[in-house]
Structure 1
Amino acid sequence: MAIKFENITLYTGTGKKFTNSAIIVQDDKIIASGDEALQQEAAETIDGSGKTVLPGFFDMHVHLGMDGIADPFSQVETDTQATSAYRHQVNAIKQLQSGVTSVRNLGSKWHIDLSYRDAVNSGLLSGPTVYGSGQPIVMTGGHGYPLATEADGVDEIRKVARQTLKQGADVLKLMATGGVMTPGVDPGSPQLSEKEMQAAIEEATHAGKTTASHAQGTIGIQNAVRAGITTIEHGIFLDDKTIELMIKHGTVLVPTLAAPYYIVQNANTGGIPPHAIKKAVACFTAHKESFNKAVKAGVKIASGTDAGTPFNLHGDFAKELELMHEGGMTILDIITAATYDAAAVLNVQDTVGSLEKGKAADFILLNEDPENTIQAFRNIDSVYKGGKLVHDQRNRKFVHSY
């Protein structure tokens, strides 16, 4: 049955905005939007006066196996496989309730994100669409090793890449530098080499998959970009040369501004490992400055939170959008980065990521227009995935759809 939402403000996700507009969905697809939808009738019409409709958000960097506790690696190291699987489901539902209908999970021990993805896709569980990396690939003792696969040298990296793809990974995650959360490593120091990453990226490309690199320090970012990485995660120390290199190669930045923000904001609450606080504080200002420079230069941006890191909770996607706005992005560009451009990173932009005829009916209704107030991203009326109502904020109800 076709359902028409009319009298709405409509953001398509492709940089366009319409007022007093409409959208028509049938089953799991959009059959008309904008002027075309205004001219068509539907079996059911819903008056959306005062509502704003956006494509469902993509959070391009999450860890569903971590809750955002003060020391999430301790959680990873003590969870059983079953507990971790339950945790994935609980956190994924929080994402869905915040308007995130698709997540790119960049690191789960035992490749549990891939099993969770399959459970959602088969209808066994309700949740957002999941694109998973399984266990990240790191050098021995590299950043994130508690939930990763360690390997050294081109041949070992190539074999692990093939093994991870065999497990069904949608994306390979590689650690190009040290990071904040792992003790004994420096965020600015290179880890996997350009040649090592190139071997993994080559395997991913052969399999039709994409890649992502945790990359905070300048040299490591440059190594990853030259190796052909799809996205740079974090990008804390970006200089002009690195930004030019990213633009030349078409590399996308997933900034995860919320990750250091929440560590710094909660530094005195106790529980966050001291090494993480020290490194986050040292990186905080540089991260904001790097993001602002990247935006001004025209680097392609896709939204991602790094949800699961300390105090960076699943379901708080709006904070990342607010920080992106503070960093110089317009509301229209933020919406595109969180929808169509994110889908394009995953090569699924032809089927999802914008409110256009023939695409998946993943969309959200807000009670306000984000161009009037940034707080609108938090004021969710309802969430639809595959044309079905999955969250009704008015009644504070999560709707399971099997």
Structure 2
Amino acid sequence: MGNKEAVNERLAIRNARLVSALTEGYDGDQADLLIEDGRITGLFPVGHDFGSCDEIDAAGRTVLPGMLDLHTHLHFTKMDDLFLMSRKQNDVLLDCVDYAAELLRQGFTTIRDCGNPHYTAMAVRDGAERGLFRAPHILSCGYALAPTAPGNDDSTITVHADTPEEVIKAGRQQIACGADFLKYFGTGTVGSEHGVPGALLTTKPELQALNDTAEAYGKYAAVHCHSKAGILLCAEVGIHTIEHASDIDDECIERILSHGSHSAIIPTLGPIGLMRSGMLGESIAKKVRETSCEQQKMLEASRVGVLTGWGTDVSLDYYSSNPGSEFLLRKERGWTAVEMLEQATINSARIIGMDDDLGTIKAGKIADLVIVDGKPDEDIAVMTKYPWRILQAGKVACAEGVIG
């Protein structure tokens, strides 16, 4: 059963424990929720009489908004470039379905794919929306745009664009193919054997052309960016999301805030977990160590007004064997449990302009909900286990890791 399954029933979720930072329009930490036609229609004191309707007894479990992962690559099944490059198109499509299912199992009901071969993420997006299978709601950029540069040659997910005119043309091509946003490589990469993460690959005119093209079609731009120079340039242009933002510092923070906070950052600490697990070759592991040492200002940035979202950027084999690892890695950086839950819900919903429908538990919002055992706002380790129930538009999509 897919995301477009007809929703007409009334459903009550009884005895729900709520997190106040993720709840709007209701005072109290216990409630009964009423869901009609796929949306939350009200939050009521426990024991409210709803008349005839189906019920789920949360039995004091914590009910969270559906989470959002804003930096994934659905084709990225394992840390093996030769394997990924040799995959046939039909295999890549099935890999993407598999990865999307795992994201849903872990409570992510909306995701962004930030670069994918053969437009397979779009195919999974469209298949799920047609109701062919269960998956998160997917936003896809199609292929990422990339300047020609040494080490910036991952042709499996990129198309090259080297002038403002080429950026405009390539951006229009991705939008014509169904892109929800545009992705661009502004600095060198960590994941490529010969990439130089600190290298600035782009120019202000190219970034401006990217931004203008996206906005002309009602979209936005996301730019892969590790270095300070790249972050400063993105902030000056007003790029919507700065992916990774590893080398953010006080000057970068000031630049983002002085330009009206138009740029959000999407940290991705997942590669640190990949490194610790031994899944990376030494040359890439070395770059991960170097960039992770540069990430010290992310915490401060998020606390002084730089909107900070949720991303992971890891392979499926790591993701499935280490559920919730991004929460533990961010905890090491100093974020509180509530701050992390906000990043994975309301912050990320605001970043992609979907906070009217997602991100908090509020009457009128889509009933994408995650019910977990325990109190994740007090102990974030709760998020390293599969949720008890996951609802999409008021329908149970997954129960204890099993998609229904």
TM-score by length of 1: 0.90
Is residue 374 from structure 1 mapped to residue 380 from structure 2 by the alignment? yes
1:329 to 324, 335, 359: 335
Q: How does 1:70-81 map to 2 (within 5 A)?
A: 70-71=79-80, 73-81=81-89
Q: Is the 8 A contact 2:112 2:139 kept in 1?
A: yes
Match 1:295 to one of 302, 308, 312: 302
Are 1:263 and 2:271 matched, yes or no? no
Deviations 1:273-322 (A, max 9, x none): 332122112222222x132232343321111111328x642585622122
- Write the letter of the residue equivalent to 1:284: S
Q: Which runs of 5+ in 1 are unaligned?
A: none
* Residues 144 and 182, structure 2, Cα contact 8 Å, conserved in 1: yes
2:20/2:29 contact within 8 Å kept? no
Cα 1:56–1:28, aligned 2, differ >3 Å: closer, same or farther?
same
Equivalent residues of 1:143, 1:179 under 8 A apart: no
Q: 1:189-204 residue pairs with structure 2 within 5 A?
A: 189-204=199-214
What is the aligned partner in structure 2 of residue 205 from structure 1? Answer: 215
Aligned to 2:402: 397
Residue identity in the other structure for 1:156 = E
Contact 1:105 1:130 in 2 (8 A): yes
What is aligned with 2:395?
Answer: 388
What's 2:144 paired with? 136
- The residue aligned with 1:163 is 173
> What letter corresponds to residue 346 of structure 2 in structure 1?
Y
Residue 247 of structure 1 is aligned with which of 242, 257, 274? 257
- Would the aligned equivalents of 2:15 and 2:30 in 1 still touch at CA under 8 Å? yes
Q: Shift in Å at residue 111 of structure 1?
A: 1.9
Mapped partners of 2:366, 2:303: distance in 1? 32
Q: 1:174 aligns with which of 150, 168, 184?
A: 184
CA gap of 1:254–1:168, structure 2 versus 1, over 3 A, is same
How many angstroms does 1:182 deviate by?
1.4
Quote the Cα distance in structure 1 between the aligned partners of 2:198 and 2:23.
35
Instruction: Tell me, yes or no, if structure 1 residue 186 matches structure 2 residue 192.
Output: no
Q: What secondary structure sits across from 1:124 in the alignment?
A: coil
Please tell me whether the aligned partners of residues 98 and 316 of structure 1 are also in contact (alpha carbons under 8 angstroms): no
Task: Judge which range, 328-337 or 58-67, deviates more.
Answer: 328-337
Matches within 5 A, 1:1-400: 1-11=9-19, 14=22, 18-34=28-44, 39=48, 41-42=50-51, 43-67=53-77, 69-71=78-80, 73-141=81-149, 142=152, 144-249=154-259, 250=261, 251-259=263-271, 261-267=272-278, 272-287=280-295, 289-308=296-315, 312-314=318-320, 316=322, 318-379=324-385, 380-393=387-400, 397-399=402-404
8 Å contact from structure 2 (residues 32, 48) kept in 1: no
Summarize the Cα distance change of 1:11–1:227 in structure 2 as closer, same or farther, 3 Å threshold: same
Contact 1:331 1:370 in 2 (8 A): yes
SS in 1 for 2:69: strand
1:250-273 Cα offsets, whole Å, 9 max, x none, are 2111101112x1233034x6xx33
Contact persistence 2:257–2:306 (CA under 8 A) = yes
C-alpha offsets along residues 134-185 of structure 1, whole Å, 9 cap, x if unaligned? 1100012426443201110111111001111111111101111001111322
Q: Structure 1 residues 321, 240: CA separation in 2 closer, same or farther (over 3 Å shift)? A: same
Q: Give yes or no for contact 1:180–1:275 (8 Å, CA) kept in 2.
A: no
TM-score (norm: length of structure 2): 0.90
Paired letter, 1:398:
I
- Contact residue 116 and residue 156 of structure 2 kept, 8 A: no
* Separation (CA, whole Å) in 1 of partners of 2:238 and 2:11: 43
Q: Is the 8 A contact 2:11 2:394 kept in 1?
A: no
Contact 2:16 / 2:31 at 8 angstroms: preserved in 1? yes
Q: 1:236-257: CA deviations, max 9, x gaps?
A: 1111100111223321111011
SS in structure 1 of the partner of residue 324 of structure 2 = helix
**8 A contact 2:113–2:138 mirrored in 1:** yes
Q: Name the stretch that deviates more: 243-252 or 146-155.
A: 243-252
Number of equivalenced pairs: 388
C-alpha distance in 2 between matches for 1:212 and 1:75: 27
